[in-house]
Amino acid sequence: MKKSNITKAAAGNKNSGLPDQKNPMIIAGPCSAETPEQLMEVAAELALDPRVDYFRAGIWKPRTTPDSFQGAGIEGLKWLQDVKQQTGLKVATEVGSEKHVEEALKAGIDLLWIGARTVSNPFVIQEIADSLKGVDIPILVKNPLSPDIDLWEGALTRLLRAGVKELGAIHRGFFWLGKSNLRNQPLWHIPLELKNRMPHIPIISDPSHIAGRRSLVPMLANRAIANNFSGLMIEVHTNPENAWSDAAQQLTPNTFFQLMDELFGEKPSPVTSGELLEELRAEVDTMDEMLIWALSSRMELSGKIAQVKKQAGLTALQVARWQEVVDRVKTMGTKSNLDTDFIEIIYNAIHEQSLGLQKSVLADHESVTKKEHNFAL
Ligand code: PEP
Ligand code: MN
């Protein structure tokens, strides 16, 4: 049976004690530490599986709204210490400030990670980096909420410069406009690009926060392993439906064990073409939602422009402006490997719709004035 172990992994990794693809790091546990009983119950289950390297639980929860559960706070550190003592599991938690680092280190936490919301703030990252000088436990940095690879790389670089040796990254997906059946977009090319830029930084994936729904977690975990990520962080709860945070995405221990067997068991089941299709189609559905959002937002703007044209006594069709639009999108299309004819067909269709809408707004005005002007659609 595969067993990831941070010291064993060190031999094969010249930069850190973190794992590589052959020796993936598995971090599992609830989104939040809720009560001492809940925490111990989940830990007791996970301690049965030697594939679990670290038991995770958030005690300081960076929540989008102030009305959500904010975490147990410092009291939760004691619960994590009890877990460590009673189950032998190594424990991990999220830190979002210098103070958190100080408290977590004092409590003997074995691994720290920095959450997506914190990574977006270079001031805080620098403070955390300074407080980690000379610390030799693994530190993992989640990707920032926005798909900004430089921000992610910048945070990792600050920690490297502070002398953090066991440094790794966590891919948890990116916030994106529009609704989707995934909570966060995986945008796989970003972590893969980070791997190119920082080849010695292992990247693990967090399918729970990408999926947002437990039914999609196995497929995303499969995809991460197929993409040679160095491990997984997965949220597990004994009563996921009633979890105090991220209830929709946490797995029961049994589902988690099954997933581990599928991925790393005696007979691992590789991603089937059916599963891969399902995951890729979920991503395509998201792109379609974005396209529809972009088209309808564009039409709305076009309607507003028609109002302005009406007031200014202009016609719907503004040839020079339209030519400018077409040239611009063709150039962008070429840079993005899109066929020029394809772009032309799409933009002709968009233009036709947009003109139709503008003409209806201008209807009673059109026959009166036919002035061409440059501030058009
Ligand atoms: C978490 O791991 O529970 C968490 C808050 O994650 P993220 O920072 O990825 O949103
Ligand atoms: Mn969570």
Ligand 2 centroid–CA 328 distance in Å is 41
CATH 3.40.120.10, applies to 275-376 = no
Q: Sorting pLDDT into bands at 50, 70 and 90, what band is 283?
A: confident
Tens of pLDDT, residues 99-151: 999 999 999 999 999 999 999 999 999 999 999 998 999 999 999 999 999 99
- Going from the Cα of 59 to the center of ligand 2, the distance in angstroms, rounded, reads 11
Instruction: Give the residue extent of every domain in the chain.
Output: 3-271, 275-376
Of 20-24, 61-65, 187-191, minimum mean pLDDT range: 20-24
Cβ(170) – ligand 1 distance below 6 Å:
no
Report the nearest-CA residue for atom 1 of ligand 1. 31
Note every long-range contact of 59-63, with CB atoms under 8 Å and residues 24 or more positions apart, other chains counting.
59/32, 59/33, 59/93, 59/94, 60/93, 60/94, 60/95, 60/96, 60/100, 61/31, 61/32, 61/94, 61/245, 62/94, 62/96, 62/115, 62/117, 62/118, 63/245
Average pLDDT for the chain? 89
DSSP string, 280-332: HHHHHHHHHHHHHHHHHHHHHHHHHHHHHHHHHT--S--HHHHHHHHHHHHHH
- CA–CA separation, 229 and 19 (whole Å): 10
Helix (H) or strand (E) segment spanning residue 105: helix 98-106
Here the tokens at position 353 are 């719709």
Residue 199 pLDDT more than 50? yes
Alpha carbon of 234 to ligand 1 centroid (Å): 11
CA distances from 221 to 137, 166, 248, 260, 268 (A): 25, 23, 16, 10, 13
Q: Ligand 1 pocket, 31 CB below 6 A?
A: yes
Residue whose CA is at the smallest distance from ligand 1 atom 3: 31
Residue 176 CB neighbours (<10 A): 18
Which has the closest alpha carbon to 60: 91, 103, 121, 25? Answer: 103
- The burial of 254, by beta-carbon neighbours within 10 Å (0-12 exposed, 13-18 middle, 19 or more buried), is given as exposed
pLDDT for 57-88, tens place per residue? 999 998 888 888 899 999 999 999 999 999 99
CATH 3.20.20.70 at 3-271, yes or no: yes
Question: Poorest-confidence range of 152-161, 202-211, 248-257, 318-327?
Answer: 318-327
